[in-house]
A and B are shown apart, each in its own frame.
Chain A
């Protein structure tokens, strides 16, 4: 039981490049989330999903897209990376809605956009 895993762990992009971050969970959780963490700040929600095939916007969705084609996977895409997207990205999952259940976090992906 690996919990929540994220790939890659580190990535450096040039402005304008695209990439996809993969989150996978093996706990059969319905809900999945993408957060970003900037220096000196708490996590902020980018997008989330309440089940396979669903996605919704969080607090800071601009510049990102997501997909949940399989229940266990939640992908975060950057179509045209900008230096403002330099951050650490965390994926999380929960069995039911996050307001009634604990969110389990992955180890994070450190992304630098030059």
Chain B
């Protein structure tokens, strides 16, 4: 079965500090894409960052970066210089390349609170 596990249901961080959200996944496929989505109180799902499994270099987007460990099937998200607007639910997800559908497999999410 393909699964995504986010072991931290809730986390908090002080404004301007750095926080890392964990994600592990399980798939028998070799080619896939990994994503982190942010869901603020408005409920809209917003793409934060994505990583192609065939790329060894970790993806970065401004204050957001990932630590992708393919052998360990780990895909953590690091948020640097945390801002109040980063408060949200964060979902890790992956999709297999070449499958019959674009079925994103989501984790249950981590609720991040950034405190002033």
A residues contacting B by CB (< 8 A) are 31, 33, 40-45, 48, 56, 58-59, 88, 90, 92, 94, 97-108, 110
16 A-B residue pairs with Cβ-Cβ distance under 8 Å, sorted by A, are: A41-B106, A42-B4, A42-B106, A43-B93, A48-B101, A56-B101, A92-B45, A98-B101, A98-B102, A99-B32, A99-B95, A99-B98, A102-B50, A103-B47, A106-B44, A108-B43
Contact A103 B104 (CB under 8 A): yes
Q: What is the total number of residues of chain B having a CB less than 8 Å from a CB of chain A? A: 28
Contact B42 A107 (CB under 8 A): yes
The interface residues of chain A lying within 8 Å CB-to-CB of B108 are 40-42
B residues contacting A by CB (< 8 A) are 4, 32-33, 35, 37, 42-47, 50, 91, 93, 95-99, 101-109
Residue of B nearest to A45 (CB): B103
- Other CB < 8 Å A-B pairs besides A31-B102, A43-B93, A58-B103, 8 of them? A41-B108, A42-B93, A42-B109, A43-B91, A56-B101, A99-B99, A105-B44, A107-B42
